[in-house]
């Protein structure tokens, strides 16, 4: 059995629950206000955090996880982890850092229901009314 971590890039704040969004993305359904990601940007983000990453044509293989890139367009990043990853929380934290910080995606853990949006620095793209960051 796997332990999954899921990421998607919202283009505006959504009213749908993360569980509903996740279910739609699992069925490869089009979801309004979810932006596309390129395989190249996903690969670059994971390779920067995991230098020993192995890139296959439609899959990235990291320590105790893989990222499938079969579906096009890519609307969600599914990090499929071995249950052993739970013994290495630093690996889970690094995967989450890639999805949220590097790719600017929302994070959803279907096992626990945990959901979070990207760091504040990337939230401007979620709302057309957002004020620009002028703090530095």
Whether the pLDDT of residue 135 is over 60: the answer is: no
pLDDT in tens, 1-14: 789 999 999 888 77
pLDDT in tens, 28-75: 888 888 999 999 999 999 999 999 999 998 899 999 999 988 777 889
Cα separations (Å) of 122 from 38, 72, 113, 119? 18, 24, 22, 6
* CB neighbourhood size of 81 (10 A): 22
Q: Would you place residue 131 in the very low, low, confident or very high pLDDT band (cuts 50, 70, 90)?
A: very low
Please report, to the nearest 10 degrees, the dihedral formed by the alpha carbons of residues 104, 108, 114, 119 taken in order: 0
Q: Which domains does the chain have, with CATH numbers?
A: 2-115 (3.30.1400)
Task: Of 98, 94, 97, 59, give the one whose Cα is nearest residue 80.
Answer: 59
DSSP state letters, 16-50 = S-HHHHHHHHHTT---TTEE-B-HHHHHHHHHHH-
Q: What is the mean pLDDT of residues 71-98?
A: 92
**pLDDT (0 to 100) of residue 55:** 93
According to DSSP, the residues that pair with 26 across neighbouring strands are: none
């Amino acid at each position: 059995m796997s332990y999954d971590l899921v990421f998607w890039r919202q283009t505006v704040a959504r009213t749908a629950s993360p569980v509903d969004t996740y279910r739609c993305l699992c069925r490869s359904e089009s979801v309004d206000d979810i932006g596309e990601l390129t395989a190249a940007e996903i690969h670059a983000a994971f390779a920067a955090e995991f230098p020993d990453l192995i890139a296959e044509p439609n899959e990235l293989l990291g320590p105790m996880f893989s990222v499938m890139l079969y579906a096009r367009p890519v609307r969600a990043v599914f990090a499929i982890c071995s249950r052993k990853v739970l013994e290495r929380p630093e690996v889970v934290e690094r995967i989450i850092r890639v999805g949220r910080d590097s790719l600017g995606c929302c994070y959803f853990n279907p096992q626990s229901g945990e959901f979070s949006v990207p760091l504040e620095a990337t939230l401007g793209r979620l709302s057309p009314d957002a004020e620009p960051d002028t703090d530095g």
